[in-house]
Amino acid sequence: MPHRGVTLAVSLALLSLALVAGGCKDNDGKNGATATLTAEATIEATATAPAGTPAPDIRLQDFAQLPAVSDFLATAGGEVDTGAIIYADLTEDAVNDAVVPISSGGEGGYIAIFVFGYGPEGLSELLRVTPSTAVNASVADAVLTVDEAEYAPGDPMCCPSQLLRTTYRWDGAKLVVDSQNTVEGESKP
């Protein structure tokens, strides 16, 4: 569902265009509304959107442009894997959050996981996992599971002997560690 302020702004802009195109006269007998008046109406309509308006669709966010992610990419390298982003309600507010994996861009797999969500203050970073080894994430029943590779000597990059599995749950204010244990890694080819 579109943001009410945006819908109102678009409606005002279309109405202004219709007035100008229709040759309407203002109080001085001159042609229609000006672009300046339209811009002011648009800004005012957006700024006065009612409180409690639904959050924007997080699927439309360009995560690579967020300062937290762009700073990480500039320092560590890699790229946002947009095809692997997981959209799920981790904060139990009936609004999707985004689990954003950062790919090494090569055989290193994912080098970081960011979690973003909309709250009262707008879009915010809810969690960042930046291990020294490859990482993977999944979500089931509002629980985020993050697996970090634990390599034994001789393990190939594809197949760590063990994984450090950490689950995160929403505690009403933030994502917190629910459990952490070591599990068997993927079998070697």
Q: What whole-number distance in Å separates Cα of residue 100 and Cα of residue 176?
A: 17
pLDDT for res 187: 52
The tens-digit pLDDT sequence of the chain (189 residues) is 443 333 333 333 333 333 333 443 444 444 433 322 222 222 222 223 345 677 889 999 999 999 999 999 999 999 999 999 999 999 999 999 999 999 998 777 899 999 999 988 899 999 999 998 889 999 999 999 999 999 889 988 788 999 999 999 999 999 999 999 999 986 544
pLDDT for res 125: 97
Q: What whole-number distance in Å separates Cα of residue 155 and Cα of residue 159?
A: 6
- Judge whether 134 and 146 are in contact, CB under 8 Å: no
Amino acid at 54: P
Q: What whole-number distance in Å separates Cα of residue 33 and Cα of residue 23?
A: 9
Per-domain residue ranges for the chain?
Answer: 4-47, 58-184
| DSSP SS3 for 80 | strand
